[in-house]
Structure 1
Amino acid sequence: MLRGSYEHCGALARTLGTLDRHGPGKLAWVDPYGDTLFNEQEAEFARQEIDALTLRCTDEHQMAALHDLATLLEECAATPGSYLWFIGD
């Protein structure tokens, strides 16, 4: 494991919970109760969703969670053979 992020769980779940689970994006696939794994290609695709998702933020905690997520997605996308693992509840 190269890096972990644990401080934004609730805020990230609230933000991602606003997404349509049947929509075209990757971030809607993140399961708050189960585990979700993105490879570097999926991370690159999901990274492109961050800007639009910031418009749905209602507080600074959600913005901080998205900023941290964007960093993780960028690092994963830039590292061949890497994965970003979301660990659910």
Structure 2
Amino acid sequence: MGIDLQLHDSRPRWPSRRSKCKPSLIRQSGEHGEALAQLIAKLPTNTSGKLWTVDPYNDTVLNEQEAEAALREIPDLLDRCTDDVQVDAIRSLAAYLRDCATTPGSYLVFVGD
């Protein structure tokens, strides 16, 4: 199980073969997918946070406002880290969340397995 991250400059559309949608992907990463999935899976559910809603088995999309709110959860996630791999995963997530929060009209997609 792993979670890849994709930053899009507009609402992501996964085009069919006949669609003429403009690609919206800015960048993506799967480097820390396993560690990210493990940490997010351990978050308490039904809280005011955003990251507990990330589904490790399906895609979850956050807009720029939701990404900004999720940034407030990073310190707690860093406290939950038990090794450098997990710390790197959360720092990478924080960078993606920051970029999404500061890019008007952008979306962050958590691509689950």
1:10 matched residue in structure 2: 34
Q: Which residue of structure 1 aligns with residue 44 of structure 2?
A: 20
1:20 Cα offset (Å): 1.2
How high is the sequence identity, in percent, across the aligned residues? Answer: 53
Pick the structure with more helix per residue.
Answer: 1
Report if the CA contact (8 A) 1:40-1:82 is conserved: yes
Counterpart of 1:44 in structure 2 is 68
Structure possessing the higher radius of gyration over alpha carbons: 2
| Structure 1 residue matching 2:26: 3-state secondary structure | coil
SS at match of 1:33: coil
Q: Identify the structure with the greater strand proportion.
A: 2
* Stretches of structure 1 lacking an aligned partner (at least 5 in a row): none
**Matched residue of 1:32: which SS?**
coil
Structure-2 residue corresponding to 1:59: 83
Q: Cα distance, 1:77 vs. partner?
A: 0.2
Report the TM-score when normalising by structure 1. 0.96
What SS does the corresponding residue of 1:55 show, helix, strand or coil? helix
Q: How many pairs does the alignment contain?
A: 89
**Moved beyond 3 Å, runs of 4+:** none
Shift of residue 24, structure 1, vs aligned partner: 1.5
Partners of 1:20 and 1:48 in 2: CA distance? 15
8 A Cα contact 1:18 1:56, kept in partner: no
CA distance in 1, matches of 2:50, 2:69: 7
Q: CA deviation at 1:46?
A: 0.2
Q: Give the RMSD, CA atoms, in angstroms.
A: 0.7
> Which stretches in structure 2 are left out of the alignment for 5+ residues?
1-24
